[in-house]
């Protein structure tokens, strides 16, 4: 770890005034400190934002509002979140160990960096860490890597479970800089790797996440998160699915009025599946209709040498998530 300047601002305005090249904001530190120890990140200044007024979980007629500094464990156990947005609580509880959830912040979770081994190993090339150096994962060890939204420059998987759930629910992320504030839909917040995989979000230099807003909807209370991983105790997703459904009608077999679906563990960003959503809309919630709808889930996938199992795993994961959602009604 290299020497850096440490700052503890007391206001958002003071914090963003320090922002810019070579500056990292510190909240829970569960990602930043690791990457600094590995020399993947070597900021010249670390801005500790934990004293800022960016906490709070509120629910009003517009929806759910969460401050960027709220800890993952506190959001996951909030009774309003569990009741009205269960997919968020389930995604958070699947995200990490209890110890990490007690430290990690909501804003930090959305900005966590990929767990690609080549990115975290400074002795190897990595276009995300060092633009233009290459991507060894294309031909190397790539079992856990992405199959959707990849490029010839990067095949790293986006690591956040929470982001998948929030994208499915149509979440907005609130940002602040020295120039002012703005709000960005989370499903446009993340950047595809293309030829610039080191550009991961639409964040501007010195910009800070201050909170998120999740709209009220008919589908949010009827939602589920399912994560498939090598170890149930603590591991990143091989495939995951966040499903939220608005039901129509009553009785034994209901109809899907509309669905919102995003998947993780397979994409370079949290991946929406509008074709599956359209295939489900207006259909009775039966196993046959679910199986037909998920057939397109992996369309456009580019499997690598070691992760050819992921398209089928993605379809099975999504099918199981939809089935569990019906069974839990």
Give tens-digit pLDDT for 127-163: 999 999 999 999 999 999 999 999 999 999 999 999 9
Distance between CA atoms of residues 255 and 247, nearest Å? 6
Q: Does residue 275 surpass a pLDDT of 70?
A: yes
Length of the chain: 329
Query: For residue range 171-217, what is the model confidence (pLDDT) as tens digits?
Result: 999 999 988 999 999 999 999 999 999 999 999 989 999 999 999 99
Continuous segment of H or E residues that includes residue 293: helix 287-293
Question: How many domains, the chain?
Answer: 1
Distance between CA atoms of residues 265 and 228, nearest Å? 9
Q: Does residue 251 surpass a pLDDT of 70?
A: no
Continuous segment of H or E residues that includes residue 14: helix 12-17
Q: The domain containing residue 293 runs over which residues? A: 223-327
Residue 2, in any domain of the structure: no
Residue 274, in any domain of the structure: yes
Strands 45-48 and 23-26: parallel
Buried b / exposed e over 120-138, threshold 16 CB at 10 Å, is beeebebbbbeeeeebbbb
Residue 227, in any domain of the structure: yes
Residue 11, in any domain of the structure: no
Q: What is the dihedral of CA 100, 101, 102, 106, to 10 degrees?
A: 120
Residue 172, in any domain of the structure: no
Residue 300, in any domain of the structure: yes
- Least Cα distance to 322 among 260, 230, 239 occurs for 260
Q: What CATH number corresponds to the domain at position 230?
A: 3.30.390.50
Residue 255, in any domain of the structure: yes
Task: Please state, in angstroms and as integers, the Cα–Cα distance from residue 103 to each residue in 31, 55, 58, following that order.
Answer: 11, 14, 20
């Amino acid at each position: 770890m290299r020497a850096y300047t440490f700052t503890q601002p007391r206001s958002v305005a003071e914090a963003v005034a320090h922002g810019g090249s070579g500056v990292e904001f510190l909240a829970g530190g569960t990602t930043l400190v690791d990457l600094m120890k590995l020399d993947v990140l070597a900021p010249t200044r670390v801005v500790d934002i934990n004293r800022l007024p960016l906490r709070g979980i509120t629910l009003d007629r517009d929806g759910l509002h969460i401050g960027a500094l709220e800890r993952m464990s506190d959001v996951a156990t909030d009774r309003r979140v569990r009741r009205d947005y269960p997919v968020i609580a389930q995604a958070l509880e699947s995200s990490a160990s209890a110890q990490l959830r007690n430290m990690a912040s909501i804003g930090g979770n959305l900005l966590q960096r990929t767990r690609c081994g080549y990115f975290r190993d400074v002795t190897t090339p990595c276009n995300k860490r060092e633009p233009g150096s290459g991507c060894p994962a294309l031909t190397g060890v790539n079992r856990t890597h992405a199959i959707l939204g990849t490029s010839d420059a990067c095949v790293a998987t986006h690591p956040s479970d929470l982001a998948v759930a929030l994208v499915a629910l149509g979440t907005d992320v609130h940002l602040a800089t020295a120039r002012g504030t703005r709000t960005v839909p989370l499903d446009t917040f993340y950047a595809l790797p293309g030829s610039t995989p080191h550009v991961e979000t639409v964040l501007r230099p010195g910009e800070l996440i201050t909170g998120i807003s999740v709209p009220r909807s008919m589908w949010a209370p009827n939602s589920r998160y399912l994560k498939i991983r090598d170890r149930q105790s603590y591991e990143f997703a091989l495939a995951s699915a966040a499903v939220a459904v608005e039901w129509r009608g009553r009785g034994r077999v209901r109809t899907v009025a509309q669905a919102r679906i995003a998947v993780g563990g397979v994409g370079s960003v949290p991946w929406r599946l509008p074709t599956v959503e359209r295939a489900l809309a207006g259909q009775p919630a039966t196993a046959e209709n679910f199986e037909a709808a998920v057939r397109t889930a992996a369309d456009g996938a580019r499997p690598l040498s070691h992760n050819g199992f992921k398209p089928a795993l993605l379809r099975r994961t999504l099918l199981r998530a939809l089935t569990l959602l019906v069974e839990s009604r």
